[in-house]
A and B are shown apart, each in its own frame.
Chain A
Amino acid sequence: MEFLGYRRNDGTFGVRNHILVVSSVSCADGVVEAVGRSLPEVMTVTGAFGCGYDRVGFRVVTGLINNPNVGAVLAIGLGCESLKSEVLAGSARNKPAEALVVQRDGGSTATTAKSVAIATRFLEELRKQEREPAPVSELVVGLECGGSDAFSGMTANPAVGIAADCYVGEGATVILGETTEMIGTAHILKRRGASPEMGEKIEQLVNGQERRVREVLGERAGMVIAPGNIDGGLSSITEKSLGCITKAGSTPINEVVSYAECPSQRGLVIMDTPGYDIASMSGFAAGGAQLIIFTTGRGSTAGFPAVPVVKVASNSPMYHKMPGDMDINAGSIVDDGRTVDEVGREIFNLSIKVASGQTTCAEINRSAPFGYMRGIMF
């Protein structure tokens, strides 16, 4: 099966062709935002903590710069920060990248004018590129859930599990994240490991996360492990977490990667990301995901910079209450007698269309929040 993507020099394929305008430190955010106001076509990313030493931030931002959906990069720094914009631009492989420095390039107004000129040139270059057929096996798809409800584990997540199996069947890479949401299923995920060693690795990851949560939060650990589940009908932590990991379908787990690390294997992969949706999606995007499928029960509106996010509603009342935010209604499994399988295939087919250029609700709404894991985050 094929989609239409932008071929990159390193053999990967983007599903978008964005110009990323990114600050290396929050002090340069004003210039980045001004560029965004002048040229709404560019994708702005602000909020990097480049002033101090921030190893994770560096990995996330350089990972996003090298995401196949990014066609060109303009990095803007203040000048006195430790994470230089030249270093960010220099990290870009196989794509045009330039750096500006506010303190060197004439202050905010002049740097904004120079930035707009560079971004305009990038826009003209990128407009010449055309989509071409690419095998679905070239896709890396992140799976996210946020604002879950009692229906998430009944409708949206099992349906996404079918879509995940379809992607793996095509030879693509699927990333399951949110380690905290796996607590209680270490023994089940262990069996899913592609080898006994991989099973051990998965068990250690999930049990380690549980230990950390209990060490840091003590009696309040339940807030992140099992928030308000009993009223919704969930009888054990295992049952709750099974509802989350069902998004990953039924195939073996081939690899465990750390936060914002690129998988080296295809098929189903676990990434150690926090339960905070935006930070989790940053990990996927930095790990090379060109597409994210996101289930929600309460109604999350979050997209992500440069990576289209397909929103799957778990229930029809929310889908109808937030019509411009949801791409697919998995509540139809409950209300219209559709099967999990049918809706799963709909998610797969729609997300392939999105990969070929169809815009998602979050893209239309220009919802592209950015944030990443800093310090202790579950």
Chain B
Amino acid sequence: MKSNALRINDNDNVAIAAEVIKQGDPVVVNGELVCKTTEDIEPGHKVALFPIANGEIVFRYGEPIVQVIRDISQGEWVHVHNTRPVPGDLQE
């Protein structure tokens, strides 16, 4: 199955859409179907590979990049509307 999203590090709980992934379409990472999206995901944007609970950290490149500010379900778009900078990081 052709991949449509990239996961850089095995510890990452998000993948990055390589193309537009329409709502309900499969997210395929390394040729394997991980989940289906709950909304459209634009290229370069993040999709949750697992449910991420309020307060948990989003990992990309194996590093913490943002903190979730409400429960995020598997297949959901992850961006500034449902996250904030990790406490202690730059807040801009």
Q: Which residues from chain A sit less than 8 Å from chain B, CB to CB? A: 149-151, 154-155, 158, 183-184, 187-188, 210, 221-222, 225-226, 230, 232-239, 242-243, 246, 333-334, 337, 339-340
Contacts and interface: CB of A to CB of B under 8 A. Distances in A.
Nearest to B67: A236
A210 B85 CA distance: 17
B66 A233 contact: no
A210 B6 CA distance: 30
A362 to B, nearest CB: 27
B33 interface: no
B43 A150 contact: yes
A154 B66 contact: no
B64 to A, nearest CB: 8
B90 A154 contact: no
Most buried by B among A210, A226, A233, A339: A233
Most buried by A among B8, B66, B83: B8
**Band of interface residues on B:** 20 to 34
Chain B contact residues: over half helix, strand or loop, or mixed?
loop
A334 B90 contact: no
B6 A237 contact: no
Given A184-B89, A225-B92, A233 B79 contact: yes
A238 B31 contact: no
Most buried by B among A222, A230, A238: A238
Contacts of A155: 6
Interface string B56-90: 00101101111000000000001110010110111
A222 B86 contact: no
Given A337-B2, A337-B3, A337-B31, A235 B44 contact: no
A233 B63 contact: no
A81 B85 CA distance: 51
Contacts of A235: 46, 58, 65-66, 78-80, 83
Contacts of B88: 187
A149 B3 CA distance: 20
B32 interface: no
Contacts of B80: 230, 235
B63 A183 contact: no
Given A235-B66, A246-B61, A183 B90 contact: yes
Contact of B85 (A154, A225, A238): A238
Contacts of B85: 236-238
Nearest to B28: A337
B35 interface: no
Contact of B45 (A158, A188, A233, A236): A233
B29 to A, nearest CB: 11
Nearest to B3: A337
Contact of A242 (B6, B44, B60): B60
Given A151-B44, A226-B92, A233-B42, A239 B65 contact: yes
B65 A233 contact: no
A243 to B, nearest CB: 8
Contact of A232 (B18, B44, B58): B44
Contact of A334 (B6, B31, B66): B6
A366 B31 CA distance: 41
B92 A242 contact: no
B21 interface: no
B60 A239 contact: yes
B48 interface: no
B85 to A, nearest CB: 5
Interface string B21-62: 000000000110000000000111110000000000010110
A235 B18 CA distance: 17
Contacts of A239: 60, 65-66
Contacts of B3: 337
B24 to A, nearest CB: 20
